[in-house]
Every structure is written in C-alpha cells, then in structure tokens.
Amino acid sequence: MIHIEGVTVVYPDGTRALSGIDLHVERGEFVFIVGASGSGKSTMLRLIYRELVPTEGRVLISGQDVAGLPRNLVPTLRRNVGVIFQDFRLLPDKNVWENVAFALDVVGASRREKYRKVPLALELVGLSEKEQSFPHQLSGGEQQRVSIARALVNNPAILIADEPTGNLDPDISWEIVQLLANIGERGTTVLCATHDRVIVDGLRKRVVSLVGGTIVRDARGGGGYDEP
C-alpha cells in the first residue's frame, strides 16, 4: 500500500529532515511514528499526502510513484488519503455538518452525495447530535472528532494523523486514539505520528521510531515507545 524507498528530504534552506528512509506499510496496518520533536515525523507524513516530494528516493502509494503523478491525478491521491492535525483545522464560521461536507465540496460531490455521506461520517465519530454546532461550541475532543469525520467522508484508503492528541487531555486523547484504532479495524491503513508514550504503549501496534531523520527501530505488535 505505502512504499517509501531510500527517501531523503532536504528542505530548500538546506535542512536535511529525512535520510535514506525505507518503510513498507501493508493495506489495513496501523502504524505509530514516534520520535522527538524535529526527528522528521511530519516530513514523513507529508510525503504520503504529497505535500512534499522526496529529494532522493521514491514514494509509492498503491504502486503509483507520487512524484511522477500527473497533475490531474493529484486530487485523486488526496481523496484517497485523509489527514488530521493537532490543531484540528476546522472552518470557524461553518457548523459541524458544513465542515464535514466541505471535504466533499472540494471534490465536486453532488448535494445528494453530501446528504448521504455526511451523516454516516458523523455517526462513525459519535457526533450526530452536534451537526448544527459551530467549532467554538465544541470541546477539543469533539473538534478532533469532526476533523476525523471530515478526513473519512471520502472513504479514503489511508488516514494520516499528525500528533492528533497533542492538544487534548489524557482521557480524551485515549478516546481519540481508540477511535483511530476502530477505523483501522474497518480496513483503513492508519499512520499516526505522536510523542505520547502512554498511548503508544497502551495500544499494541507497530511502532516506527525516528531519530534525527532516520528510522532507528521498527517494532511490530506493540514494541512500546522506548528502546528495547
């Protein structure tokens, strides 16, 4: 599903964010990406939703080299990859329903499709009752659920979560990660960057550890956050 092969990323200012990374993720896998701030987690995720292309090496999504993707196919790739962030990135002047529908608007979905898909996505994250609320009327955990609904409404094969619990209390963080795990169990491939070791240790999933832009450990079945 995701093949990162010999990838190096050097930003325009000369910062080398990743060096010679190899990572293979199967369809339906759940993978934590862990490491200190600045270790390259976000850079690795940005490659997958093609906000970045590698300086060296290749990134293949379902066999397709994303750097060589014709411009007209980039929206198709993005539709197949849902993304959530630490700061939720909701539109403040749109209600919950409209925030989720927005992801369908940008891909040109019909009105009928929106009325079918938005309620399903809100039900999946347990927010059907809040569809008329605005972001400022919701708790942080609820806002993150809206952003998850928005990421999933196009039914993507891959869900990318970049520090999804960074702004949330521990109890709520745990609920959000359980929700991501449930989404993984429905067949979506999930990559979740975090430095929350309680969550990583609590959910026995594959853990890929980055230090200074290289993978230093790749532990399946819940290796935990710490070095062995």
Q: Which residues bind ligand ADP (CB under 6 A)?
A: 11, 13, 15, 17, 35, 37-43
CB of 123 to ligand ADP, least distance (A): 32
CB of 51 to ligand ADP, least distance (A): 10
DSSP codes joined into one string, the chain = -EEEEEEEEE-TTS-EEEEEEEEEE-TT-EEEEE-STTSSHHHHHHHHTTSS--SEEEEEETTEEGGG--GGGHHHHHHTEEEEETT----TTS-HHHHHHHHHHTTT--HHHHHHHHHHHHHHTT-GGGTT--GGGS-HHHHHHHHHHHHHTT--SEEEEESTTTTS-HHHHHHHHHHHHHHHHTT-EEEEEE--HHHHHHS--EEEEEETTEEEEEETTT--SS--
| Closer to ligand ADP by Cβ: residue 18 or 121 | 18
| Closer to ligand ADP by Cβ: residue 10 or 120 | 10
| Closer to ligand ADP by Cβ: residue 109 or 211 | 211
| Closer to ligand ADP by Cβ: residue 140 or 166 | 166
CB of 134 to ligand ADP, least distance (A): 30
**Residue reference for tokens 């300086």:** 55
CB of 143 to ligand ADP, least distance (A): 21
| Closer to ligand ADP by Cβ: residue 20 or 126 | 20
Q: Are 34 and 191 in contact (CB under 8 A)?
A: no
CB of 53 to ligand ADP, least distance (A): 13
